[in-house]
Structure 1
């Protein structure tokens, strides 16, 4: 940030905002002016890491790891997301779910939902229990053969959700806060 009056933050100072190296502006005004009513013009800048796409309603940035080389088990996928400052993506409403589906290519993808703590009690990657919204495939989740604890988009069932064995290797989607 740089300001034309030395960071006084008083009317009529104008400040210019930019994203850090490795990030891109996803929303907001790069130039804002302190107005007479002590409010800033424009809206706050939001930055996403390069390679991530911003989804405004959730205020998160998302990236689909679409390449075969990206395939990982659930824990390794979660660790990759954590190394980038985020978690596996959490499609907690229909809008986020649709946005995530628009990012991924053909194939099964992990996202951040599991019942590893207690069978049948699905919890998001941030520890919040699964709410009213879900996109399970018919007859899912079913814990088939026991031990299916991690959720993914199931391409064979129209990208609906399925529970699967966490040690399977799949592509995945991460989310990071702006």
Structure 2
């Protein structure tokens, strides 16, 4: 008898990860990201994200910021992308729209934010996707984020 058929093959899932990201969302470190394919104002973009069970992206760390920048460099359909950070309530006091907390991590371009009625924050190709403040009514690309419901097996 062939020894191949007499062997028991065991496959383990130790350390494997599965995500529950919605369709068209990209998984990374416990979150799911949707890179919008149309241009919307800051408010329209936040509403769009909310309709899809998400919010405008909340950048927590340099690792997350680098992941987003690398993806935007490859994507390239728009020059400017909304994130969920604004100082609309109090000038110079930037808070995240999803939980109203002050920004702990930031990736500002030198000289930014520069105020002047620019209350919303973007990634800009002009500055290799460093952050800048921008007028909220402009229509730009956007990034939505939600938790992935990531599971680890094993």
TM-score by length of 2: 0.79
Q: What is the SS of the residue equivalent to 1:130? A: coil
Equivalent pairs counted in the alignment come to 131
CA RMSD of aligned residues (A): 1.6
Larger strand proportion, structure 1 or 2?
1
Q: Deviations over 1:22-63 (max 9, x none)?
A: xxxxxxx6xxxxxxxxxxx7777431001111112xx11001
Unaligned runs of 5+ in 2: 1-12, 149-154
The 8 Å contact of residues 60 and 175 in structure 1, kept in 2 or not, is answered as: yes
Cα distance between partner residues in 1 of 2:17 and 2:138: 41
Higher relative contact order (CA 8 A, sep 6+): 2
TM-score if structure 1 supplies the norm length?
0.69
Question: Which of 65, 89, 95 in structure 2 is aligned with 1:97?
Answer: 65
Q: Which residue of 2 aligns with 1:86?
A: 54
For the residues of structure 2 that align with 1:165 and 1:87, how far apart are their CA atoms?
Answer: 19
* 8 A Cα contact 1:63 1:103, kept in partner: no
1:139 aligns with 2:111: yes
Runs of 5+ unmatched residues, structure 1? 1-28, 30-40
